[in-house]
């Protein structure tokens, strides 16, 4: 039987090994001239905003993505009369560009790992079948990207009418890997 000190040390080591090299996200801000903006240390500076590209890597799953939140439509309109956000709610659409910068094929359903957080901290999951005007979703709700390929598509959230979108998160591998977050407030 393990002593409590040995058990604690073993647990800490397992956690550290599991976390090491597992996932990371790096903000790549783009200056007006299209070139990356960096600090003197070489690190990208600032919080991600719409238009910024964030790198998501997960060495254990072989994921390497560059994800850009292209735009946010805070009062998106349904693309047909059958799609509604529900009573007291409205649609918000987030247009993403996902680039596979890794060596392995990346396959995912982006809506599974996407979350909108409002200014009060309430989180909203992406709607699976909600289509909005002027912002086409990912084909069949999925992406399959070989190395170097990219796809652009919208994810839609049904939020309370009074809610103020603050952050949007994009989680790789249906949210079970690294994630990126943009300030949209």
Band (26; pLDDT cuts 50, 70, 90): low
In order of their start, the domains of the chain are 22-183 (2.60.40.1240)
Is the alpha carbon torsion for 119, 110, 170, 92 positive or negative? negative
Tens-digit pLDDT profile for residues 160-178? 999 999 999 999 999 999 9
Band (114; pLDDT cuts 50, 70, 90): very high
φ/ψ of 140, rounded to 5, equals 55, 20
Report pTM.
Answer: 0.77
CA 62, CA 185: separation in Å to the nearest integer? 32
pLDDT at 12: 37
């Amino acid at each position: 039987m393990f002593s409590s000190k040995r058990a604690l040390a073993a647990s800490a080591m397992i956690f550290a090994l599991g976390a090491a090299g597992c996932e990371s996200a790096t903000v790549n801000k783009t200056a007006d001239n299209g070139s990356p903006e960096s600090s003197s240390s070489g690190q990208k500076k600032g919080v991600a905003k719409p238009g910024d590209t964030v790198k998501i890597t997960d060495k254990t799953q072989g994921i390497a993505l560059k994800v850009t939140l292209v735009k946010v439509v805070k009062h998106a309109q349904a693309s047909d009369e059958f799609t509604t956000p529900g009573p007291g709610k409205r649609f918000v659409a987030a247009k993403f560009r996902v680039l596979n910068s890794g060596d392995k094929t990346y396959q995912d359903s982006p809506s599974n790992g996407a979350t909108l957080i409002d200014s009060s901290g309430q989180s909203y999951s992406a709607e699976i079948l909600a289509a909005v005007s002027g912002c086409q979703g990912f084909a069949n709700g999925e992406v399959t990207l070989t190395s170097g390929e990219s796809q652009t598509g919208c994810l839609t959230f049904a939020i309370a009418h009074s809610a103020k979108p603050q952050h949007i998160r994009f989680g790789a591998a249906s949210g079970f890997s690294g994630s990126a977050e943009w300030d949209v407030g």
